[in-house]
Amino acid sequence: MPTDDLKTLLRKGLEPVQRRHTDRFREVLGMLRDTASVVEEFLRRGTSADVSVEVVQGQRADDGLEHRVVVRAPSHGVSDYLLRAYVPLSGYPVVIDSVEEDDVAYRDAKALQGALVELVKKPWFQERLLGLREILRDPALHQVGGVVATVSRAAKKKGG
């Protein structure tokens, strides 16, 4: 079968595909993005390091997708996730894996929002963020060409 015929058949096979994500699915992703945004603001305070906190899609899980809240600062060799959320295409229940605690399912927006607010208040979570921020502030941990720079190299790079 020539390639053009196969492409035509494949296109026809995809024509009935309909969107399965619901408004509640997008609502959950919005809450995760809001959490990522606030954490990024916190990490940026007091540092000029290029840091981003994003919601990244992970593996398929049952009838949904895993999403991770990921911290990245390539200049300091940081790439870590703060939490994982298993989000069904219907939106709920969302299962949160915060690494330090058992997985918990949240059945609606109010419960999930409350859980995210409580998560950022937890001492272990705040300590983790403070540790990350210290890494971002430390010029000795700034990487130059993939190698951790010495304080003097980092200072020279900054013009000091």
pLDDT tens per residue across span 31-63? 999 999 999 999 999 788 889 999 999 888 778
Q: Is residue 118 part of a domain?
A: yes
**Structural domains of the chain, count:** 1
Q: Which pLDDT belongs to residue 20?
A: 65
Helix (H, G, I), strand (E, B) or coil at 61: strand
The residue segments making up the domain with residue 125 are: 19-132
Q: Is residue 105 part of a domain?
A: yes
Q: Is residue 39 part of a domain?
A: yes
C-alpha span between 94 and 79 (Å, rounded): 24
Run of H or E residues at 134: helix 123-137
C-alpha span between 60 and 79 (Å, rounded): 21
C-alpha span between 27 and 91 (Å, rounded): 8
Q: Is residue 46 part of a domain?
A: yes
pLDDT tens per residue across span 55-104? 999 888 778 899 999 999 988 888 899 999 999 988 899 999 988 888 99
140 DSSP assignment = G
Q: What mean pLDDT, rounded, does the chain reach?
A: 84
Q: Is residue 144 part of a domain?
A: no
CATH number at residue 91: 3.10.450
In this prediction the pTM is 0.77
Q: Is residue 84 part of a domain?
A: yes
pLDDT bracket for residue 17 (50, 70, 90): low
